[in-house]
Chains A and B, each alone.
Chain A
Amino acid sequence: MALISTRALTKRYPGGVTALDGLSVEIEPGVIGLVGANGAGKSTLLKILLGLLPATTGEAHVFDLDTATHGARIRELVGYMPEHDCLPPDVSATEFVSHMARVSGLPAGAARERTADVLRHVGLYEERYRPIGGYSTGMKQRVKLAQALVHDPRVLFLDEPTNGLDPAGRDEMLALIERIGKEFGIAVIVASHLLGEIERVAGWLVAIDAGRLLRTASVSSFTERTGMLLVETDEPADALAERLVARGIDARADGRIVVADLATGGDGEFTVYDAVRDEAVALRLALVRIEQRRHQLEDLFRAGGGNDRFG
């Protein structure tokens, strides 16, 4: 059973903004990164999956439950951490999280017990009895995570969970997310515009752009070796690229860097390496670095129409 499946899911807001445009995707349990630029449709997708927003057309299922008809049942099984601030300042974390547990349907005793457990897991200790208004951003993010986790959901939807955190806070939040996925055994969908962070915790990526599915694949498949040779020289490398192309190698220059396809230019294992060496000597170029390049997550978006809004 797929954790989440959508078919031709489209959402148009009144006023003409199309947030999702025929999105079809199947997502299996695990820690899944939902990546895309701000405005790509990530938050809209999460809200449709929670049954909070109706889709304009198309359909979506969570645990085989239709979001249009079984919203309440789905929301029992899901924990949701919104992107924005959502905490009342005048109550303590203990009081708030325990209230939210009860609103999720837990009896009072269980709500108290799980609140204590969950606040400990997210790393809130003595401060949990103080009003939330006095918390740091990092502590507030932990409370937001705790309220999403307190009713023992089967899947967590986290919308930009590292927003507003300093580098140390980011590391802790990412470690926590990883732990929830691996140790707690809860599926996690992390929506983020920060590929570098998602890469660290997610096993699978779903990339969307302008409401469309760009690509979905395992993170490891993105970071495999690519069969491209990257050559950096100490001066503009256009001449080198031209000479490589003349030898039948698929190469292009970008400033002082030439990228050459290792599978072209002949059958030999070191054909491209030899050609680079020979032509560099002929051109009297100094080589700064030669390395086999790995795919980077950014390629995901370049390949799909290309934009550099991710970082």
Chain B
Amino acid sequence: MTASAEQPSGTIYDIGYRRYDGPRLGRRGAVGAIVGAGLRAVFGLGRSARSKILPWGGVGLALAPAVIAVAIRVLVGDLVELYSYENYLWGIGALFTIFIAAQAPELVVNDMRHRVLPLYFSRPIRRVDYVLAKLTALAAGLLALTLLPVLVLFAGRVLAAEDVLGALGDEIGALPGIIGNGVIHAIALASLGLAISALAARRAYAAGAVLGVFLIGGVVSAIFAESGGGLVDVAPFLNPLATLDGAREWLFGGSIAESPVAQSNLPLWTYGAGTAVLVLGSWAILALRYRRVTT
């Protein structure tokens, strides 16, 4: 590149190669960059309008019951109690399935399929950093569905009350359960969704596999729960959302009639153990899958 005649002289166009002497943020910076890019992918930011429909639609639908519940409370007071802190996540469980089926494959499938991973692994991160960064991105994105709506419900119930401070005193005890349950749901669902997606060769297959696991598990679990007999104890473990609901009840209390957990005779701690197996199993799948990636 050279300066053309009509340009004023003295302007340098090709400044040659410039070295970089600035800061290098190492592993921490690299992981932060992957999490940031992952979050953008989860919410379709910087992508076409079409890729925003599912994530934002999901967040909107997840928030709707909380907004409606708060509106009803403002209009008619305590007469109708549609959603409680306990049954909220169970009530919107189908949205998690759709959100994960649509967004988890975005995070991992293309890097694997198009062999981008060697470019990541030839940089100052380790394989486990990559996987943890992707998990963090998906879990953080899921918090918009598993935590944010319940927090909105909480805030609405406090602020809609005539005695705000008194209401805060009444409701504040539920806060650890709301946060704990939301975080556990986010981590467990992100782990499972990512593990399933990491095994798929294409995004569509990954989405199908996620839907299959959740929908078939949900249907079979519901049938078993209604069947009576010994199968009722198996039912909550076939549907990840039911297992998580059992863990919620074990940790924070509050039974839900619609959950298969209500029909089962097993002690509640078994659901805590089931959730742990779900998460650790997913991590094991991820570890094995990414160890096998050749660079």
What distance in Å separates the Cβ of A128 from its nearest Cβ neighbour in chain B? 15
Q: Who on chain B is nearest to A46 by CB?
A: B122
Q: Do residues A82 and B124 form an inter-chain contact, with CB atoms below 8 A?
A: no
Q: Do residues A88 and B110 form an inter-chain contact, with CB atoms below 8 A?
A: yes
Main secondary structure of the interface of A (DSSP, over half): loop
Q: Do residues B20 and A152 form an inter-chain contact, with CB atoms below 8 A?
A: yes
**Which residues of A (126-166) have their CB < 8 Å from a CB of B?**
147, 151-152
B29 at the interface (CB under 8 A from A): yes
A99–B24 Cα distance when bound, in Å, is 14
Q: Do residues A86 and B116 form an inter-chain contact, with CB atoms below 8 A?
A: yes
A84–B119 Cα distance when bound, in Å, is 11
Q: Do residues A102 and B119 form an inter-chain contact, with CB atoms below 8 A?
A: no
The stretch of B30-38, B166-174, B257-265, B278-286 that contacts the partner chain: B30-38
What distance in Å separates the Cβ of B144 from its nearest Cβ neighbour in chain A? 23
Other-chain contact of A88, B16, B24, B30, B111 (Cβ < 8 Å): B111
A104 at the interface (CB under 8 A from B): yes
B23 at the interface (CB under 8 A from A): yes
B289 at the interface (CB under 8 A from A): no
Q: Do residues A102 and B46 form an inter-chain contact, with CB atoms below 8 A?
A: no
Q: Do residues B122 and A78 form an inter-chain contact, with CB atoms below 8 A?
A: yes
B291 at the interface (CB under 8 A from A): no
B50 at the interface (CB under 8 A from A): no
What distance in Å separates the Cβ of B22 from its nearest Cβ neighbour in chain A? 5
A243 at the interface (CB under 8 A from B): no
Number of residues in B with C-beta < 8 Å to the partner? 32
**Which residues of B (28-71) have their CB < 8 Å from a CB of A?**
29-30, 33-34, 37, 46
Q: Do residues B122 and A75 form an inter-chain contact, with CB atoms below 8 A?
A: yes
Q: Do residues A106 and B24 form an inter-chain contact, with CB atoms below 8 A?
A: yes
Given contacts A90-B110, A100-B123, A147-B119, contact A105 B29 (CB under 8 A): yes
| A121 partner residues in chain B, CB cutoff 8 A | 17
Other-chain contact of B30, A87, A102, A184 (Cβ < 8 Å): A102
What distance in Å separates the Cβ of A138 from its nearest Cβ neighbour in chain B? 18
Other-chain contact of B24, A47, A76, A78, A85 (Cβ < 8 Å): A76
**Which residues of A (179-219) have their CB < 8 Å from a CB of B?**
183-185
| A78 partner residues in chain B, CB cutoff 8 A | 122
A84–B126 Cα distance when bound, in Å, is 21
Main secondary structure of the interface of B (DSSP, over half): loop
A103 at the interface (CB under 8 A from B): yes
Number of residues in A with C-beta < 8 Å to the partner? 37
Among A52, A100, A103, A110, chain B packs the most CB atoms within 10 A around the CB of A103
Q: Do residues A102 and B26 form an inter-chain contact, with CB atoms below 8 A?
A: no
What distance in Å separates the Cβ of B163 from its nearest Cβ neighbour in chain A? 47
Other-chain contact of B118, A86, A110, A114, A151 (Cβ < 8 Å): A86
Given contacts A72-B126, A90-B110, contact A99 B29 (CB under 8 A): no
**Which residues of A (42-82) have their CB < 8 Å from a CB of B?**
47, 50, 52-53, 72-73, 75-76, 78, 80, 82
A73–B252 Cα distance when bound, in Å, is 45
**Which residues of B (115-139) have their CB < 8 Å from a CB of A?**
115-116, 118-126
Given contacts A52-B295, A99-B37, A183-B17, contact A75 B123 (CB under 8 A): yes
Q: Who on chain B is nearest to A151 by CB?
A: B20
A84–B117 Cα distance when bound, in Å, is 12
| A47 partner residues in chain B, CB cutoff 8 A | 295
B79 at the interface (CB under 8 A from A): no
Q: Do residues B22 and A104 form an inter-chain contact, with CB atoms below 8 A?
A: no
Other-chain contact of A106, B25, B27, B125 (Cβ < 8 Å): B25
What distance in Å separates the Cβ of B115 from its nearest Cβ neighbour in chain A? 5
Among A99, A117, A147, A151, chain B packs the most CB atoms within 10 A around the CB of A99
Q: Who on chain A is nearest to B31 by CB?
A: A103
What distance in Å separates the Cβ of B47 from its nearest Cβ neighbour in chain A? 8
What distance in Å separates the Cβ of B275 from its nearest Cβ neighbour in chain A? 32
Other-chain contact of A105, B16, B25, B126 (Cβ < 8 Å): B25
A184–B124 Cα distance when bound, in Å, is 23
Q: Do residues B26 and A105 form an inter-chain contact, with CB atoms below 8 A?
A: yes
Q: Who on chain B is nearest to A108 by CB?
A: B33
| B114 partner residues in chain A, CB cutoff 8 A | 85-89
| A85 partner residues in chain B, CB cutoff 8 A | 114-115
A102–B17 Cα distance when bound, in Å, is 19
**Which residues of A (263-278) have their CB < 8 Å from a CB of B?**
none
**Which residues of B (81-136) have their CB < 8 Å from a CB of A?**
110-111, 114-116, 118-126
Among A50, A95, A106, chain B packs the most CB atoms within 10 A around the CB of A106
A270–B111 Cα distance when bound, in Å, is 66
Among B17, B24, B119, B120, chain A packs the most CB atoms within 10 A around the CB of B119
Among B16, B111, B114, B123, chain A packs the most CB atoms within 10 A around the CB of B123
Interface of A toward B, CB cutoff 8 Å: 47, 50, 52-53, 72-73, 75-76, 78, 80, 82, 84-90, 95, 99-100, 102-107, 110, 114, 117, 121, 147, 151-152, 183-185
9 nearest interchain CB pairs? A102-B33, A152-B20, A80-B122, A184-B17, A105-B24, A105-B25, A72-B124, A52-B295, A105-B29
A sample of 6 cross-chain residue pairs with beta-carbon separation below 8 angstroms, ordered by A number, consists of A72-B125, A103-B123, A105-B123, A106-B24, A107-B22, A183-B16
A102-B29, A147-B119 given; 20 more Cβ-contact pairs under 8 Å: A75-B122, A75-B123, A76-B123, A76-B124, A82-B122, A86-B119, A87-B114, A88-B110, A88-B114, A99-B37, A102-B33, A103-B30, A104-B24, A105-B26, A105-B30, A107-B23, A107-B29, A121-B17, A152-B20, A183-B17
